[in-house]
Structure 1
Amino acid sequence: MLSSIPEGWEEIRLGKVAREVSARNREANGTPVLSVTKHNGFVRSSEYFSKSVHSDDTSNYKVVQKGQFAYATIHLDEGSIALLKEFNRGIISPMYTVFETNTDLVCNDYFIRCLKHFALSGRFDPYSNGGVNRRKSISFSDLQAFRFALPPLAEQRAITEALSTIEGVIAKTEKLIEATTHALNKTIDWVLGETKSECAPIGYLGEVITSTKYGTSAKCDDDRSGFPVLRIPNVLSRGIDQSELKYAKLPPAEAKKFTLQDGDLLAVRTNGNPDYVGRMALIQGLAESTLYASYLIRIRVDQKKVLPEFVWLCSETFPLRDSLTAAATTSAGNFNINSDGLRSARLPIPNLAVQQRIVDAAQTLRIRRECELEYLAQLRVTHAALTQELLFGRRRLPKSMIDSHSDQAGCAA
């Protein structure tokens, strides 16, 4: 028995609303071979895997029809369960379990959300078989004994509508972020396009650098009485992450040598990953007296020739990125770049007006993208919380919303 059942809901066994289906693919009719993924549901196996992983003989594969469910028998605890909606028919490996529901009792779109949540939260674990160090399989014959609280069909539909509304906003936001990212990349392509014209000759980074300096090698710890110090993890995102700062105790005169100011560029000097060597972060708006560690190099440029924001924008594009990687040397498993390597790196140097146009366009897109990413994160938190509340009946939808679904016939897949 469940500890508590919301008013109007019914405690029910999974086997009462669903039954296993085991139709086999006895006809070679070109039916697509499908796989069930954790995040994207059913996909063509040929698109999900880089090579064919299914047998040439698919006569023993299971047939799954639109509106039916399938789960990976040994991966259900990872959320590998899906409802077939995008294909009318497919075939899947015998390692999957296929089942269908009684749609007079269950709304499939509601049910898949429940099943996914139950799987990921460990509710199905007691029905698994297998050793501690082996993948645990869950057969449908065992799973059908699973008990859960099921709301009336109209409430299932209303819950589905509420969650689908948020999911639709999430999908639109993801598409907007994708479009903004594409536009940002096009802006970077603009940088590359300028290199093909006479107004943006390819020069050397050394032509615009006024100084470079390695960071402090002073011991760092969590004692906030010292000076905050940026380390490699703080700059790898190409921005400045100040969430896990360390601190160093130095005499003020010594600390001044390593103090950062707006417009400085910090480059990763050494790393086990060659793609990280030379990666840059732009310093803007840091607290006064912020220092940087010895595995980083501070770069200051002549702002009469080049904007630091422009160099930063170029630092992940050809030819500067390729030059930085080529200049890195390896020693004891680490890749390193020194001041001479930085100075020999090549980059386009258009006039300042062109640089400013490129920087402004990129900055506008970057701010928009960051805002949308923050909004997306908030949407996902809201969706996760609301899913928990609605699927367990801790929060109930208005009666008027539920009643609007009471006259619908069945529940489409």
Structure 2
Amino acid sequence: MSVKPYPSRRLGEVLKHVRRPITPQPDQSYGLIGVRWYAAGTHLHDTIEGAKLQAPTLWQAYEGDIIYNKMWTSKGAFAVVSKETAGLFGTSEYPTFEPRSDVSARFLRYAFQQSRFWHLAEAWTNGTTERARLSPRDFLKLPLPLPSLAEQRAIAEVLATVEEAIANVAALIAALVDAKHATMREILTRGIRRDRAPIKALPSRWVLGRVAEGVTHIPTDWDLVTLTKVAKLESGHTPSRDKAEYWNGEIPWLSLADTEALEALEVDQTSECVTAKGIANSSARVLPKDTVVFSRTATVGKASRMKRPMATSQDFANWVCGPTLVPAYLVQVFRHMEREWDRLQEGSTHQTIYMPVFKKLQILLPPTTEQQKIADVGEAFDIRIAKERETRKVLVENRDALAQELLSGRIRLPESIIVRHRDKAGQAA
């Protein structure tokens, strides 16, 4: 049986354009509201003194108002004013509207998150490509499928429940990341011991490669070494793109297109492969399994291990570990060094870490048995974090698919859910 679509109504039938003007005073400061792209809500964009404002008039936004940025409708700059941003001010670029009694602001927020709404709004903009704007008059002409108020509220409640689950997983991920950072800082500088390990002063000055600030002592059986003394540094290269015979071979070739794969503990697949001829006629080398690969350009700081022999582009610094260095330990050291990588990046357009820096890196070197134990702890965190991130990804995909179906009317909620929202006149929408 086909599902009857929701009736389509113009926004002007359910929204009222409101203006709450004030004249800025030179001796006062004003919080300016901003609307995030992709219907991600409102925020405090800036606080500015009245004397520095170019706009002769500001308009105040109230909680529950509908607001949008005239210039960025194609980016989904539509929102419902939150409690936290209520009372902030907007310029004429941020028109505001009050929902009428037969529309739910929460429902509209989910409707605004649909990319099809942005594309529709963009089609109604006027002006040149760089200065196209959606006027309030045209905004109110936009059509929107709208079920009954009870069904709007029911849909919003269902989607909010999924969003709450997503937020809970995100909070868990953040807690795990913080716990890993605190744990790894301790064991990467003091080790894993049942009893407190005897310590000694650092044998030399630690200049590059620090995993934490203020480290002056380390366990007595550890050392501070230049990384190139315990691992061979290898750069990568890109075979000529003009030679078809160099490409589509059987040798995995890691490039910037694969940096997301470095989130895993081991890299197995690459987006491109090269031929033996391509390797022979370039500076690229096939590196052995367990080579530690580090992204030094664009997404600086990602690190993993090669699950099988492969080559890389010049965007990576690769480390073939010697017998005294456990590859999994080096990965955890690199992953913990976010602040150090931030400090060492150079470049104006694209941030990078240049190869001479890697030649000077120093690391703390415990015995290999302890290196492996430290790596095991770090990897346990990484595996759990990756699992929760996948859970969140699936939840987001399910929410987006569910929202698309519910908001279009292709899927309808059971009457048993909708009925709870009937006869709630006067309650918040």
- Which category of TM-score, normalised to the shorter sequence, fits these structures? 0.7 to 0.9
Who is 1:41 aligned against? 41
Select 2:87's aligned residue among 86, 89, 105.
89
| Deviation (angstroms), 1:384 | 1.2
Distance 1:31 1:411, change over 3 A: farther
Distance 1:214 1:227, change over 3 A: farther
Select 1:123's aligned residue among 109, 120, 123.
120
Structure 1: which amino acid aligns with 2:355? I
Aligned pairs for 1:9-408 within 5 A: 9-26=6-23, 32-38=31-37, 39-46=39-46, 52=48, 56-57=52-53, 60-87=57-84, 88-103=86-101, 105-117=102-114, 120-131=117-128, 133-190=129-186, 193-194=189-190, 196-199=216-219, 200-209=222-231, 211=232, 226-233=249-256, 236-237=259-260, 238-239=262-263, 240=267, 242-250=269-277, 259-266=286-293, 276=300, 280-284=303-307, 286=308, 290-293=309-312, 295=314, 299-303=319-323, 305-316=324-335, 336-337=354-355, 342=358, 344-408=360-424
Other structure's SS at 1:65 match: coil
Other structure's SS at 2:21 match: coil
Of 212-221 and 171-180, deviating more is 212-221
State the distance in 2 between where 1:217 and 1:22 align. Answer: 59
Gaps of 5+ in 1: none
Gaps of 5+ in 2: 191-214
Deviations 1:323-342 (A, max 9, x none): 9959x99xxx997527xx75
Of 316-325 and 67-76, deviating more is 316-325
Distance 1:325 1:227, change over 3 A: farther
State the distance in 1 between where 2:21 and 2:399 align. Answer: 38
Deviations 1:150-205 (A, max 9, x none): 10111101100111111111111111222222223224423553354331432222
Structure 1: which amino acid aligns with 2:230? V
Contact 2:253 2:313 in 1 (8 A): no
| Deviation (angstroms), 1:261 | 3.9
Of 87-96 and 259-268, deviating more is 259-268
Count how many residue pairs are aligned between Structure 1 and Structure 2.
Answer: 386
State the distance in 1 between where 2:33 and 2:352 align. Answer: 43
Distance 1:61 1:42, change over 3 A: same
Distance 1:40 1:179, change over 3 A: same
Distance 1:168 1:53, change over 3 A: farther
| Deviation (angstroms), 1:344 | 4.1
Distance 1:54 1:122, change over 3 A: farther
Distance 1:322 1:408, change over 3 A: closer
State the distance in 2 between where 1:144 and 1:370 align. Answer: 44
State the distance in 2 between where 1:371 and 1:382 align. Answer: 17
Other structure's SS at 2:61 match: strand
Name the TM-score, length of structure 2 as normaliser: 0.76
Other structure's SS at 1:20 match: strand
| Deviation (angstroms), 1:31 | 6.4
Deviations 1:237-278 (A, max 9, x none): 545372412221359999xx955444322456xx776x85x9
| Deviation (angstroms), 1:319 | 11
Contact 1:323 1:346 in 2 (8 A): no
Distance 1:229 1:20, change over 3 A: same
State the distance in 2 between where 1:217 and 1:13 align. Answer: 55
| Deviation (angstroms), 1:315 | 2.7
Aligned residues with identical type, % of pairs: 21
Contact 1:76 1:119 in 2 (8 A): no
